[in-house]
Amino acid sequence: MSGLTAIVNTNGVKSGEQALLNPLNPLGNFATKIWQSPSCFLATSYPAEAPSGHKRFYQDDNFVGMFAGDVVNAELLDWRDIGRNLGDDAKLPAVLRALKGSFVLVIHDLNKQVLWVATDAFGFQALYFHVKENALSISTSLGSILQASDSCNKWADSWIYQYLFFNYPVGEESLVENVQRVPAGTLGKFDVKTGRLSWTQYVEHVSSSQKIFTGQSAIEQAYTAFDSTVPGWFDTDGRVVFGLSGGLDSRAVLASLPKSILSRIETFTYGIPGSTEVTEACYIASELGLQHNEILLDDEFIQQLPRLMLDTVFLSDAQQVVNRSNLVYVYGALGEGGKPCSAIVTGVSGDHLFRDHISGWGNVPYLISADMASMFRNGRKRIDRKFYAGMFGARLEHFEAQIEDSLDTLTESYGEFTDPEAYYRYLMYVAGPNYFGGQAAIANSYSTFRTPYWDRVLIQLGMDVDLGTVGFSRGLSKKDKYREAALQASVVARNPSFSNIPYLNLPIDVFARGDQLRFQLHRVSRKIKSIVFNKKRILEENWPL
């Protein structure tokens, strides 16, 4: 995967260069940059076609700087200016707050012998670290850290407990004992001479603004937010492919692009032959006149499944489980035929900004475990002792204590479970980065993964409008669920090229205007047809992997 590694050891870096590089470039298809001294090894890897490739590594007589992942607005990353102001405690945090994307950044001050490390505001790009005596190992890949330290050789019980209860680790744990994950929006400082490591949070978690926009004001805010952010996520000179589905998340992104950008991108969709996702996306691309790539999960895919399952865990650094082994197949196919991608852009995460949490599952796809869904619905901490007793036996109390500590930490970090804002922050800082982080890591093994819904402006929008997740979670009856589509449908409907393309076999205006009667009649009609003709939607996510 695209990544970086920094190893600092005053006694000398013992691991070989290639052993440290291999986990950063497992397919051998990336460019690499290396800087090293007797006590320090710095390396980064990235696709040759990656956006802002010339800014990924910088070196002069005073410092070395590099980033991994993706900085969408890399024009704001002025290495020389950063170097001149490394002694200014306010300068670097200000630069980091302005950057967009999923990234990690490392700066080595050669004069003061200080190493700075930082994660993006939401922690979408994983970064791990291990400290032993005066040595620091830090990397986007657990493999590099394992190569650098012979003391990291045990599974972490806490990681396993959290994975089983929450669906992912929710704190700083990694699957290896004594190796931790750096939290979101964090800046670290390591003094090479003293071995002292300190952390500060350089950006606060999102919270609702004082004014909540309602009705048409909310729609106008959405227009401004989408127009000011989405085009920037497509800003690259190379080939850009966009994941198109039949839903509103991807349509709202495309509808926010000027024609100059829309005309030069390609779209792609993957799924079972004949599935709803494939047929609807193909139709939309045809209506828009876009070059479309159809990647079918057919017999050839099935034959490759055993290898794809292993590659899924390997390329995602164990962040992605095998039930999404289609991702390796799809992202690999996009670059075949000598046509590498500069960026793979998708609409993932959009569904989590503009839906309620009445069901408590994190919407589509389900991001939240059954235990957490129950807690967000009723606000009570609950551990099903009977269920977990059969799993852990004599270790049940140890498991319970670990989970109780984790739940307390979540409450301290994001708020009480009854608070819709706490639910939203949990999606943005825990569930989303963990669920989609594995997907991004796989995509980043072939290209550069982007989704505009990771932009702080759009995430803030989901808090500040009554048609967003926080607003809906404060009060949305089951009969009014159709209103969840209103904001994105309005963004789509204002674009003449998109306004005549139906959504769920209805005019997009039905959702943009909140036409409840037509929507309910359509739902009844669809249900009757499905019963009479026994016709079911074939959904790609139901593919039995």
Predicted local distance difference test score (pLDDT) of residue 537: 54
d(CA 447, CA 35): 23
Query: What are the backbone angles phi and psi of residue 497, rounded to the nearest 5°?
Result: -70, -20
Q: Please give the structure tokens belonging to residue 31.
A: 């460019």
Note down the domain range covering 14: 3-155+175-201
Beta strand ranges found along 404-490 (DSSP E): 449-450
Residue-averaged pLDDT of the chain: 89
Same domain, 189 and 232: no
Strand 266-271 to 291-296 pairing = parallel
Say if residue 134 is in the same domain as residue 280: no
Higher pLDDT residue, 525 or 539?
525
Sign of CA dihedral 184, 177, 105, 453: negative
Same domain, yes or no: 28 and 79:
yes
The pLDDT tens digits for 217-276 are 999 999 999 999 999 999 998 999 999 998 999 999 999 999 999 999 999 999 999 888
Residue 71, classed as helix, strand or coil, is: coil
Residue 368 pLDDT exceeds 60: yes
Long-range contact set of residues 380-388: C-beta below 8 Å, sequence gap at least 24: 380/417, 381/407, 381/417, 383/165, 388/164, 388/165
| Residue 207, in any domain of the structure | no
> Is the same domain home to 130 and 239?
no
In a domain, 27, yes or no: yes
Q: What share of the chain is helix, strand, coil (3-state, %, to 5)?
A: 45, 15, 35
| Beta bridge pairs of residue 173 | 180
pLDDT (0 to 100) of residue 437: 92
Among 296-300, 337-341, 401-405, 513-517, the range scoring the smallest mean pLDDT is 513-517
Instruction: pLDDT band for 543, please (50, 70, 90 cuts).
Output: very low
Residues 219, 189 within the same domain: no
What is the pTM for the complete model shown?
0.93
Nearest-Å Rg of the Cα atoms of the chain is: 23
Confidence of residue 177 (pLDDT cuts 50, 70, 90): very high
pLDDT at 478: 67
Asked if residue 388 belongs to a domain, the reply is no
Q: Are residues 131 and 248 in the same domain?
A: no
CATH number of the domain where residue 436 is located: 3.40.50.620
Write b or e for each residue in 464-502: b if 16 or more Cβ atoms lie within 10 A of its Cβ, otherwise e.
bbbbbbbbbbeebeeeebbbbbbbbbbbbbbbeebeebe
Give 545's pLDDT tier (boundaries 50, 70, 90): very low
Domains contained in the chain, number: 2
Predicted confidence (pLDDT) at residue 490 exceeds the cutoff of 70: yes
**Residues 332, 335, 339, CA angle at the centre, nearest 5°?**
170
In a domain, 279, yes or no: yes
Residue 84, pLDDT score:
85
449 and 531 part of one domain: yes
- Which of residues 201, 235, 255 is at a domain's end? 201
In this prediction, residue 2 carries a pLDDT of 80
Q: Is residue 389 part of a domain?
A: no
Lowest mean pLDDT among 66-75, 117-126, 292-301, 515-524: 515-524
Give which of 191, 262, 165 is closest to 39, Cα–Cα.
Answer: 191
Q: How far apart are CA 520 and CA 480, in angstroms?
A: 10
Shared domain for 346 and 265, answered yes or no, is yes
Let me know whether 184 and 237 are in one domain: no
What is the C-alpha separation between 340 and 328, in angstroms, rounded? Answer: 15
Question: Identity (one letter) of the amino acid at 268?
Answer: F
Instruction: Give yes or no: residues 458 and 372 share one domain.
Output: yes
The pLDDT score that the predictor gives to residue 14 is 67
Residues 347 and 486 in one domain: yes
CATH of the domain at 86: 3.60.20.10
First to last CA, the chain: 23
Q: What is the pLDDT of residues 213-232, one digit of tens each?
A: 998 999 999 999 999 999 99
Kindly state whether residues 131 and 31 are assigned to the same domain: yes
- Per residue in 130-170, pLDDT (tens digit) is 998 888 999 999 999 988 887 788 889 999 999 999 998 99
Beta bridge partners of 450: 345
3-state secondary structure of 249: helix
Distance in angstroms (rounded) separating the CA atoms of residues 106 and 146: 19
Following DSSP, what letter does each residue of 257-304 receive, concatenated?
S-HHHHTT-EEEEEESTT-HHHHHHHHHHHHHT-EEEEEE--HHHHHH
Judge whether 45 lies within some domain. yes
Instruction: Please report whether residue 167 resides in a domain.
Output: no
The answer to whether position 188 is within a domain reads: yes
Which two structure tokens, joined as six digits, stand for 505? 């076999």
What is the per-residue pLDDT across 182-216, written as a single tens digit (0 to 9) for each?
A: 999 999 999 998 999 999 999 999 999 888 999 89
E strands present in 297-415: 343-345
Does residue 323 contact residue 218 with C-beta atoms inside 8 Å? no
